Structure 1
Amino acid sequence: MKKDLAAVAAVLLLAGVGAAAAEDVVIQPEQETVIKEYVHKQPLASVKVPGVELNVGTALPDTVELHEVPNVKYRYTVVDDRTVIVDPSTRKIVKIIQ
């Protein structure tokens, strides 16, 4: 019985690791270049978001407007003078580029 519990625990642990890895977002270098060039040409005013730490994985509130980058699924905005790339479906920061 203990072996069964250990096996179940191991499977659950590995499933959790797989789920965490699936959340990692990889922006291809060419996509990142397109985003950086567009952001440079289309500067935005910085906004303040009290109580939100700017980290990859942090979800931005609905009050923060996200701006489109043509031909890229991600959006961008500037918070506390830092440009962040956001997944619009989750509103989570996937990359901080400045």
Structure 2
Amino acid sequence: MEAKMLIRNFLIAGALLATTASAAFAQTVVLQPEERTVVREYIIKQPPAPVVLPDDFNLAVGTVVPDSVMVSPLDAPGLEKRYDYMVVDGHDVLVDPETREIVEILN
């Protein structure tokens, strides 16, 4: 009987952990198609300065952009949240201006 309760508690704890982890991943930025269009058009009209990334830089959501890398404010109309941006190898990269964390990579 104790073994069954122990297994049950283990399964419940695992389910809670999975739910919590899923909630954390669900917080990633997802732009609506209209917002993506607005962002792309803005970046085409307002191309940022070229960026030089460190050789070991990992271009991925969640990576923090070093202070030495220039990002530009994204003042595109119609966005709820403010972002900074840069273009890296043809990819439009949205950066959280407060944390400098990459929140979305477009293209």
TM value normalised by structure 1: 0.77
Whether the 8 Å contact between 1:46 and 1:80 is mirrored in structure 2 is no
**Structure 1 residue 89 and structure 2 residue 93: aligned?**
no
1:32: Cα distance to partner?
Answer: 1.7
* CA distance in structure 2 between the aligned counterparts of 1:26 and 1:94, rounded to whole angstroms: 9
Q: CA deviation at 1:9?
A: 2.5
Of 44, 51, 57 in structure 2, the residue corresponding to residue 47 of structure 1 is 51
Find out whether 1:26 has 2:30 as its counterpart. Answer: yes
Are 2:80 and 1:75 equivalent residues in the alignment? Answer: no
Q: Number of aligned pairs?
A: 97
The answer as to whether partners of 2:49 and 2:70 remain within 8 angstroms in 1 is no
Tell me, yes or no, if the aligned pair for 1:46 and 1:81 is still in contact at 8 Å: no
Residue 10 of structure 1 deviates from its aligned partner by 2.0
RMSD: 2.1
Q: Does 2:14 correspond to 1:9? A: yes
1:38 aligns with 2:47: no
For normalisation by structure 2, the TM-score amounts to 0.72
- Contact map agreement 1:68 1:75 (CA 8 A) in 2: yes
> 1:96–1:19: structure 2 CA closer, same or farther, 3 Å change rule?
closer
Between 88-97 and 24-33, report the one with greater CA deviation.
88-97
- The share of aligned pairs that are identical, in percent, is 42
Q: 1:28-84 CA distances to partner (integer Å, 9 max, x unpaired)?
A: 222222211111111223212111121223221122222112244111113355431
1:57 to 59, 62, 74: 62
